[in-house]
Amino acid sequence: MPNLTQALRRFIVGERLPTARAMHERLPKYLALPTFAADAISSSAYATEEVLLVLVLAGSGALRYSTAVMLCIAVLFTIVAVSYRQTVTAYPSGGGAYIVARENLGLYPGLIAASALLVDYVLTVAVSIASGVAAIISALPILAGYRVELCLVFIAFITIANLRGVRESGKLFAGPTYLFVASMLLMLVSGSIRELLFPGSRAAAPQVPVEQPLTVFLLLRAFASGCAALTGTEAIANSVPSFRPPESRNAATTLMWMLAICVVLNIGAAGFAQAYHIVPDHLQRETVLSQLGRTVFGKGVLYYILQAATAIILTLAATTSFAGFPRLASILAKDSLAPRQLANLGDRLVFSNGILLLGAFSALLTVVFRGMVHALIPLYAVGVFISFTLSQAGMVRHWQKLRTANWHFAAAMNALGAVVTGVVVIVVASAKFIHGAWIALLLIPVLIAVFLKIAQHYRSLATALSTEGYAVPRALRHAVLVLVPGVHRGVVSALLYAKSIATEPEGVFVEIDPAETPKVQEEWYRLHLGIPLTVLQSPWRSLTDSVIQYIRTVRAERHVDLVTVVIPEFATTRWWHGLLHNQAGLMLKFALMSEPGVVVTNVRYHVEE
Amino acid sequence: MPNLTQALRRFIVGERLPTARAMHERLPKYLALPTFAADAISSSAYATEEVLLVLVLAGSGALRYSTAVMLCIAVLFTIVAVSYRQTVTAYPSGGGAYIVARENLGLYPGLIAASALLVDYVLTVAVSIASGVAAIISALPILAGYRVELCLVFIAFITIANLRGVRESGKLFAGPTYLFVASMLLMLVSGSIRELLFPGSRAAAPQVPVEQPLTVFLLLRAFASGCAALTGTEAIANSVPSFRPPESRNAATTLMWMLAICVVLNIGAAGFAQAYHIVPDHLQRETVLSQLGRTVFGKGVLYYILQAATAIILTLAATTSFAGFPRLASILAKDSLAPRQLANLGDRLVFSNGILLLGAFSALLTVVFRGMVHALIPLYAVGVFISFTLSQAGMVRHWQKLRTANWHFAAAMNALGAVVTGVVVIVVASAKFIHGAWIALLLIPVLIAVFLKIAQHYRSLATALSTEGYAVPRALRHAVLVLVPGVHRGVVSALLYAKSIATEPEGVFVEIDPAETPKVQEEWYRLHLGIPLTVLQSPWRSLTDSVIQYIRTVRAERHVDLVTVVIPEFATTRWWHGLLHNQAGLMLKFALMSEPGVVVTNVRYHVEE
């Protein structure tokens, strides 16, 4: 069985890598861009749609504000990216919001940033995959009935890809990301040319009834929804150590490239959606991007390439979270704020447990929200902007402490970022509060409480286990009991072993059926091992209860520190043999785990059949 | 956690009973009849329907043969019951077909009987529950969409009722069984009176198109399907020890009562179905019994009482199998032909594992056949008649060997039973072969092969483990390795323990992160325990691989018989603390299970927080 499990693991995860190869898992810029910027870039596939979905509540006339809203978002994007550029340079070892906030602002701001980021990483996976599936369903409406199932298949795929390691991810994902950017640009250019040559070819604006008046609050809500475009911006700053040296400079350049691509794609998409009078569908039968592609390309090869590239890059966008979440979780684990297993490097030098956890949470979210992007969006982006704000505020403190040349300028840049993103937090949280932002806001204090509880446990355990000033006890006195299920060679091995570790071991037989006892006793004394056999009554037919009762008696009466319970077992050659034997030893071991002063020893006899 | 599990178990299964109370779990006749005859009696709820469902293939005209077919079945029933009456007297300790066939005819006939019976016990549960649910759906058509779900709920209910113990079953089930018999008799009597007073009130015979010609083979198939009425006849013979003393006489009397009730109900139902021109529905939207009840009583209170009593007795009918299957399985287990766990008496003095196994198999069958009685019937009854034949044939040998007074007469009775049931086996198997009997026939040799394989395993294991002529080895030499995950009080306990069982124990530290090693070494030597610490490299970050490699080296180089691996653990006070620690010790223990020459010792340190 273990071999089968292992073979399966090798097949899914790939051959394991030695620790010494860790340094080699670095990415050049052209691979780092798709890997760490896929999230931010792919957001342009749904950001415009989310803006339109809010505006359309005020009727089709309100849709003409979409480009203006998107321009505001682009300005915000630039401020944030330039702000983060400084973080990348200042924190070459990876300047995630948690590290920056904790180092410069203290534990609690750090924990707020960490919780906010973890929540948003999970949402990024759920939103990206749901949006990718929406692109597929737009092109192939026949799949509309399998939205959730498709999402789960893609989440499983992306999880496995990430368990295989980050370098392979980069290679795997570069093609589709660049293809998406190219298709989008081609669409924007073709569309522009068409507009120049045949300015009259647009469809008439369709009429959508007004549900709500066009208020400033509605415009702010549209802006808040569109802010999903900024998610993933912090990924490059989090991942500086994954870049090839010089890490900081390469990361900063990549960040600027990402900004340029995102601004062009988002404004382009919003502008064309407005120009072509695209009306969004809140049931996501067809995405806005699909409508755009269909208008420009017609339903031909280019349209299908655009949809495929969109679906793939959105699926891959989740990679950004799969790099960020496990890395942040491992940092928290090393700081004793999260379970230590999250800091274990897996077979492929990635943090496997964090990857699996992220996969599981995002699958759960997908099932709960039925794979609908529009249902997930209100929860999204609040966390991201909280972490932006804390990170930039931390950078201001950082420059104040460091006082390098031009620190005033650097601090002012970050201060601008902090103030702007701080205002956005308030806008986003209040505009989307009742629509779902409250869930994200509630999760942050819950997570912080969990982190603190975990830290307290590790701390109190470390104190309880510390050898500092610990008077090492005198030698131990222990009694040895050998559990005798019957008399056979396996038991003889256990008895010989017991004699080798104690001068006066004792056999213990639990009587379930009184008719068997004399036979066992007779066979026992025929062994001539000079070990006494105690027979325990068991009126309730429970081996475990009788043995525990006897152990307590022995500990009390013989004044020993420990009782060693030797459990003889036999190892059989076939897996199904295990089904043919009472697993009483296993049950007993489980029960003895919570019994103090007991050492459980397994002597396995390997049967030669 | 164990306490919660235990509380749940107490709630479901009830307070456990001491072994000493086993004798008290005996049933008086008036409770034994519903408990062990419920299956046979309840068969009258579907036997007529199954006969009609075959006959109707030859058009509605063929339905007039139903009473004749049922009369043949009644004759067969009488022969079988009288035959079994002799078994009950001859085998006061329970004369199941397996025991009688094995004792008198040999191992293989015994195994055939046992396999056939086990298959039929599972089918009895599936058919009875499906038929009970059909009765409910007939009365409440709104439930038609939940057929399978309802079946599974009832199977779960009956399984739990049986885990609680047989006496309570008897009490619980007496009322409904007698209510069913009373309702059926009331229906038959009311119907007869109505016929006498208003002979012209019958509906006209509806016309059903002819699908097949009315051949002798079709009549035999109708007979074969109706033979399901006989299933459960052997239950009383299997359960003689559950009767109050004098067991045999009480069991024989109960058997005759059962015969009388069954004959009256089956012939009555068939006669009225013919008289009222009832046409069966192969989709089981309404059962034949429901149509009868509706015709006689109208859709009033009496009709609903009949349907409720039918549903309940059919659900309870499964109890007969829940008494028989675990008992037979435990007998096979005691003969080393089935897994030994099946012979364990549970908390309530019933064979819990057998009960759970039967519940699981019948649930599986229900899901596969979508809870349709008519789909399950072709698999049914073949096994029962095989076991009848072997049992009666065995009784003939029994009388030949014993030669008591009148043995010729007794042997002739059983010989008649054997021949008649033998012929029925051939009729049933060939008439229903392609409709599903082949599945039951195929399962029998498969089960026999499994039994023999299991017996061979137990035999070869007993030989391999036997102390007969076994030269008890010289004293054992063993090396002791203490796994050191880090230096803390739990490790100190383990080291002190190691010193108490060996003169030269050795600490082993597996280096995952080389940066930690000097710190561990320094803390180690500060303990001044005089134990050397070996540091193992682990290029693949795998604790398990490194430790196993080292154990092999130690065994090879130091010429020891055994290596004791002491694994320090700490027991924490809250269940969730377990999530916060690497379960590396657990993984290691699992891996060491298949490594020869290794003794695993767990020293648990109980943390006082």
Answer yes or no: is pLDDT of B606 > 90: no
Average pLDDT, chain A: 86
Chain A, chain B: beta-carbon pairs less than 8 Å apart: 187
Cα distance between residue A248 and residue A246, in whole Å: 6
What residues make up the domain containing A404?
A: 25-458
C-beta separation of A395 from A104 below 8 A? yes
Average pLDDT, chain B: 86
- pLDDT of the residue at B95: 65
- pLDDT of the residue at A87: 84
Percent of chain A with pLDDT over 90: 35
Cα distance between residue B84 and residue B86, in whole Å: 5
Mean local confidence (pLDDT), A106-125: 92
Using 50, 70 and 90 to split pLDDT, how confident is the model at A455? very high
Cβ contact (<8 Å) for B467 and A562? no
Cα distance between residue B360 and residue B112, in whole Å: 23
Hey, is the C-beta of A608 within 8 angstroms of any chain B C-beta?
yes
Mean local confidence (pLDDT), B109-134: 93
Mean local confidence (pLDDT), A27-39: 86
Query: Which residue in B has a C-alpha nearest to residue A574's C-alpha?
Result: B457
Mean local confidence (pLDDT), A88-102: 82
Answer yes or no: is pLDDT of A321 > 50: yes
CB-nearest to B599 from A502, A512, A601 is: A601
Give me the DSSP letters along B82-104.
HHHHHHHHH-TT---HHHHHHHH
- pLDDT of the residue at B22: 58
B434/B509 same-domain check = no
- The per-residue pLDDT for range A249-281, each reduced to its tens digit, is 999 999 999 999 999 999 999 998 988 888 898
DSSP B606: E
Cβ contact (<8 Å) for A470 and B457? no
Interface of B with A in 308-327 (CB under 8 A): none
Greatest mean pLDDT among B44-58, B527-541, B580-594? B44-58
Cβ contact (<8 Å) for A571 and B562? no
In a domain, A469, yes or no: no
Hey, is the C-beta of A601 within 8 angstroms of any chain B C-beta?
yes
- Matching residue, tokens 């990024």: A124
Span of A203-212, A284-293, B230-239, B304-313 with lowest mean pLDDT: A203-212
Answer yes or no: is pLDDT of A597 > 90: no
- pLDDT of the residue at A344: 79
CB-nearest to A467 from B492, B502, B602 is: B492
Using 50, 70 and 90 to split pLDDT, how confident is the model at A609? low
Cβ contact (<8 Å) for B606 and A598? no
> Considering only CB atoms, which chain B residues are within 8 Å of A540?
16, 18-19, 347
Span of A24-28, A462-466, B432-436 with lowest mean pLDDT: A24-28
Answer yes or no: is pLDDT of B25 > 70: no
Mean local confidence (pLDDT), A327-347: 85
Mean local confidence (pLDDT), B254-262: 93
- pLDDT of the residue at B1: 43
In a domain, A345, yes or no: yes
SS3 B97: helix
State the smallest CA–CA distance between residue A588 and chain B in angstroms.
12
In a domain, B469, yes or no: no
| Encoded tokens for A528 | 């001539």
Answer yes or no: is pLDDT of B445 > 50: yes
Using 50, 70 and 90 to split pLDDT, how confident is the model at A32? confident
In a domain, A29, yes or no: yes
Cβ contact (<8 Å) for B577 and A457? yes
Interface of B with A in 87-116 (CB under 8 A): none
Domain boundary among B458, B488, B514: B458
Query: Which residue in B has a C-alpha nearest to residue A341's C-alpha?
Result: B582
Mean local confidence (pLDDT), A505-517: 89
Cβ contact (<8 Å) for A571 and B590? no
Using 50, 70 and 90 to split pLDDT, how confident is the model at A21? low
Hey, is the C-beta of B506 within 8 angstroms of any chain A C-beta?
no
> Considering only CB atoms, which chain A residues are within 8 Å of B470?
489, 492
**CATH number of the domain enclosing A40:** 1.20.1740.10
- pLDDT of the residue at A204: 66
- pLDDT of the residue at B362: 95
User: What is the H or E stretch that residue A602 is in?
Assistant: strand A598-606
DSSP-assigned beta bridge partners for residue A64 = none
Query: Which residue in A has a C-alpha nearest to residue B565's C-alpha?
Result: A601
Hey, is the C-beta of A530 within 8 angstroms of any chain B C-beta?
no
B499/B379 same-domain check = no
Total tally of structural domains belonging to chain B: 2
Cβ contact (<8 Å) for B539 and A581? no
Percent of chain B with pLDDT over 90: 34
Interface of B with A in 29-58 (CB under 8 A): none
A333/A382 same-domain check = yes
A514/A418 same-domain check = no
B425/B503 same-domain check = no
- pLDDT of the residue at A289: 92
B323/B437 same-domain check = yes
DSSP B507: E
- The per-residue pLDDT for range B484-505, each reduced to its tens digit, is 988 888 888 899 999 988 888 9
> Considering only CB atoms, which chain B residues are within 8 Å of A466?
488-489
Mean local confidence (pLDDT), B49-58: 91
Helix axes B247-275, B29-42, angle to 10 degrees: 40
| Encoded tokens for A536 | 């325990």
C-beta separation of B595 from B550 below 8 A? no
- Matching residue, tokens 């040319």: A193
Hey, is the C-beta of B345 within 8 angstroms of any chain A C-beta?
yes
C-beta separation of B230 from B73 below 8 A? yes
**CATH number of the domain enclosing B523:** 3.40.50
In a domain, B358, yes or no: yes
- The per-residue pLDDT for range B522-558, each reduced to its tens digit, is 988 888 888 999 999 887 777 888 899 999 999 989 8
Query: Which residue in A has a C-alpha nearest to residue B578's C-alpha?
Result: A339
Using 50, 70 and 90 to split pLDDT, how confident is the model at B357? very high
Domain boundary among A458, A493, A522: A458
- pLDDT of the residue at A95: 65
In a domain, A466, yes or no: no
CB-nearest to B467 from A473, A492, A512 is: A492
B548/B432 same-domain check = no
B76/B161 same-domain check = yes
Residues in CB range of B205: below 8 A, 6 or more apart? B60, B277
> Considering only CB atoms, which chain B residues are within 8 Å of A538?
19
Answer yes or no: is pLDDT of B237 > 50: yes
The answer, yes or no, to whether the previous bond of A28 is cis (omega within 30 of 0) is no
- The per-residue pLDDT for range A158-196, each reduced to its tens digit, is 898 888 875 556 777 788 889 999 999 999 999 888 888
Mean local confidence (pLDDT), A324-351: 84
Span of B99-108, B159-168, B533-542, B550-559 with lowest mean pLDDT: B159-168
Percent of chain A with pLDDT over 70: 92
Domain boundary among B458, B486, B512: B458
- pLDDT of the residue at A447: 94
- pLDDT of the residue at A20: 63
Using 50, 70 and 90 to split pLDDT, how confident is the model at A343? confident
In a domain, A19, yes or no: no
Span of A137-151, A353-367, B369-383 with lowest mean pLDDT: B369-383
Mean local confidence (pLDDT), A517-536: 89
Q: Model pTM greater than 0.80?
A: no
B537/B453 same-domain check = no
Residues in CB range of B63: below 8 A, 6 or more apart? B52, B55, B56, B273, B274, B277, B278, B279
In a domain, B171, yes or no: yes
DSSP H helical ranges for B216-335? 216-226, 235-238, 247-275, 288-297, 301-334
A426/A546 same-domain check = no
Phi, psi (5° rounding) for residue B604? -100, 130
B229/B287 same-domain check = yes
Give me the DSSP letters along A74-135.
HHHHHHHHHHHHHHHHH-TT---HHHHHHHHH-HHHHHHHHHHHHHHHHHHHHHHHHHHHHH
What number is the ipTM of this complex? Answer: 0.74
B149/B246 same-domain check = yes
The better pLDDT of the pair B301, B209 is held by B301
- pLDDT of the residue at A175: 86
